Structure formats: structure tokens, C-alpha cells
Structure 1
């Protein structure tokens, strides 16, 4: 696992708009937690007017602590969100979030298939009954490194159970994210020595969504980041680069996921 969290903006809609309004940082977790986590993400804001933030979610479970949800703040487990996710930020507040690697949450809740959380946001105590009072010590410190240390202590206290099938799943998702040549579930399953059915069962139990969904989502993330960073994207070339049959297929998937066509998004 890398020692430093990634620095890309993949999945964030209107990243420039968000970063101009909030302080957004990522931090690496403690060494013992890195096999399971992507990173911690911290947001602080003090806004003169409300702002709606939108994200095209990763195939990841998140644990999210918010200070603007009552005395002491709140914590929740957010399963993989199949659709575009939006949240409203207003006034003053902070969020401390944990993004798990796809497949990395199951060792913390081994009794439940991860698909049980897909599309749901549950109060933390419903998943981890002994963690009902976890939010305040995580959110209270003004020093962000103290917040990171509190997140480390919280997760280490949950005592994740090592699971070879979780390790296998995390490795498979990493390959999908990094290798653009992976386009079809059947070919990918065969290359891993698995049947399509076995691969789908593994992803349902450990990621929460199927392998086809993961393949498509990572391609849309890349298209979104290209649209965010350049105004002259050749969408036909990008469609071919990402493995789409033609530009129309990319435009259709992008529009269905983000809500506007890629050319309209880039023109913003």
C-alpha cells in the first residue's frame, strides 16, 4: 500500500468549486490499517451561503462523522451509493471521513455481506453497537492530526478480522482500476481463474456491487476528471481509450451518471 493518499479528484463533481469553498485534505491511516483503507478525508467549511456538493461515488464503503448534525456530531456508515450523491454544506462545520478500499470494509463487519449496506446510510451504532459515542472525540480537536489519531484509535479498536477473500477482492478491484484493457467481466473472470458467477458472488459479498458496475464506474471517474481538467477533450478518442465501442456509449453513461452530457460539463 502507498504511504501517501492519492491526490486526484476522481469522483468529485465541480472539484474547483468545492475546493474554493472548503478546506479538503486527505491523510494516510496508521500502518496497521493501510491494507483496508484508501485514506481519511477531512473537510472544514465556514460558508456565507449554502453550497451543494456532488460526488460520483467510488465502489467503497465510507464511515462519515459530521459536526453539523446535533450536539457532539454524528457518525454513519455509508454503503456504496449507486447514483450521484449530493450533500448540502452550510454555515460552519467539519467532516471526518474514512474511505475503505473496495473489499476492505468486510473485515470490520465480517458477519454481513457488504451488499447489505449498498445504497444505505446507517447510524454508526447500528453497525458497530459499541461505537455510539465515537463522533465527539473524533470531531472535537481543532488540530487535524489529532483527528487523524482519533480515527486511527477508533478503527483499531474495531479489531478487523484478517480475511484472505477480502485481500483477493481488493487486489481484483485494483487491477480493474489500473488496467484499462479490462472491459468485459467474462474475460476478466477467466483471466483470474474464476467463473463469472464466482466473481459476481465475491464482489457482492465484499464490494457491495458487481464487477461490471466497478468497471464502468472507474471509466466514468476518468472521463469526469478529464472534463474537469481540460476544455478540449476529444471525446471520441477518450471513448476508445476507455474501451467504449463508440463515443455515443460514453456520452450516454456519463450523462446518466453525472446528470449532464460531457461536453456541457466541460463547457462549465
Structure 2
């Protein structure tokens, strides 16, 4: 088990990536074709902090549900609207399956909004096989073996794909690719869907409102720009991202991250 993922490979949403890269190894693995309509990718986080201080990681989450095999038990993580904070210590690893936006609806069999800001034991949603998979994942340091165990578990339990979930995933992809979008009515016009229908679809399938998804995409972009290592014109960036002015961006960023964007860029 090794450390040393490059900061630029940490991915959008991981805060303080330079520091994180010294604490953990993060790798992503593609799902098989049979699982890909449900799972975007598998991720493995491994660390060895024996003899060192514990570390608190912070992430601005995406509009995805995760199934995570970890100690003390496997869990399902709904969308976290604030920053996701996790403290690690000692030596360990976890494997997660990041579901496509909307795809977990078929497994949950109720609105995904019920999972917002919640972590629920996977044993309450899946049969006993989830514990067998947990043991298989945590008993090996080999990523391929971890992913194979998760794949076998999911392949035996995935329902028929839901075309509506596919449509919703495409909607999320389109609006997160355009962080300058500001208003829900703009999104509705872009997608050709009435505002009320869009809001219902997101509550049912995504778990977060279109407004939240828009706001989070802007914050992800601001955090990415802040870590590029170049001098930033914050007023211009605020306008690029659809904020009314620099102070609006600063308030939004500070509320989510815990410090203003200029201070974050220097950290």
C-alpha cells in the first residue's frame, strides 16, 4: 500500500490537494460495461499514517451517491450538501463505488432525496452479501481484487437500467459542464424541461435540487482555478462564474470551504 497520488490527479472537489497527496493514495478504476450504466467508477483510498498525526480531509461533494466498503461496516453515502470531512489515522484503505447521478434510485426504490446528508448502513439496503464483500475488500491490498469483489456483488443485484435515470445523468453532466449557468430557469430552458418537472426529477433521482447542483459546479470551478498557481483576477472570475460580484463569490466560497478563495489559493 503506497502513498503519493499527484495533486493534479486528486480530482475536482478534493480540497487542499497538495497536502492530501502526501497523506493518501487515491486511484480510480473503470467499471465493467455491464455495470457502467449505474457506476461512474470505483475509487480506492489507502493510507499509512502509523507513527504520524491523524489527518482530516475535506471534499466538496458531487451530486452522486456512493456505496463504500470500510470499517466498521459498509455504508451508503447520500449527497453531502456541505463539505464532507473525514479523519484518517493509522493504516487502512476503503473502496467506494460512485454511482452516476440518478442511478441509485433503482436500488433505493424511493426518492434519493431521502439520503441527503445521511450515511446509512448498507446492510439496511442490501442482503447479507454486502458483509461478505466487505470482508473480501478489506482483506486485500490489491486494487484489482477489491474492484472484482465489488463488481461481483453489484452484478448479482443491479436491476434493469432506468431510462429516466440515464436522462437525469445526462442533465447533470450538461449543467455541471457549464459553471456559468446561474438560474434554474436557464437550465430548464437549456434542457427543454419545465422548471417544476426538473425540480421533481432531481428530488426523485439526484437527491439535490438543480439550484444546489448549479452552485456546487461553480464552487468546484472556483476551487480548481484557485489551485492553478497563477495570479487570479477574482472579480473577473466571479463574473465568469455568474456571480453578481466578487463579494458574492467570496461569501459563497467561504461558507462552503471555511476560508475565502484568495486565502485558499495561498494555502
TM-score, normalization: structure 1? 0.91
Query: What residue is the counterpart of 1:124 in the other structure?
Result: 122
Aligned length: 257
The alpha-carbon deviation at position 208 of structure 1 amounts to: 0.2
Structure 1 residue ranges, 4+ long, deviating more than 6 angstroms after superposition:
none
1:56–1:84 Cα contact (<8 Å) kept: yes
Alignment of 1:97-176 (within 5 A): 97-109=96-108, 111-133=109-131, 134-176=133-175
1:124–1:131 Cα contact (<8 Å) kept: no
Query: What residue is the counterpart of 1:9 in the other structure?
Result: 11
Query: What residue is the counterpart of 1:20 in the other structure?
Result: 22
Query: What residue is the counterpart of 1:258 in the other structure?
Result: 257
Alignment of 1:1-268 (within 5 A): 7=9, 9-47=11-49, 48-67=52-71, 69=72, 74-109=73-108, 111-133=109-131, 134-268=133-267
CA deviation vs aligned residue, 1:35-64 (integer Å, no higher than 9, x gap):
222211101111022011111111111111
The alpha-carbon deviation at position 257 of structure 1 amounts to: 0.5
Unaligned runs of 5+ in 2: 1-7
The alpha-carbon deviation at position 129 of structure 1 amounts to: 3.3
Q: Secondary structure at the match of 1:252?
A: helix
* Distance (Å, rounded) in 2 between the aligned partners of 1:18 and 1:100: 23
* Distance (Å, rounded) in 1 between the aligned partners of 2:65 and 2:104: 7
**Alignment RMSD (CA, Å):** 1.6
* Distance (Å, rounded) in 1 between the aligned partners of 2:242 and 2:31: 34
1:231–1:266 Cα contact (<8 Å) kept: no
TM-score, normalization: structure 2? 0.91
* Distance (Å, rounded) in 2 between the aligned partners of 1:29 and 1:264: 38
Q: Secondary structure at the match of 1:251?
A: helix
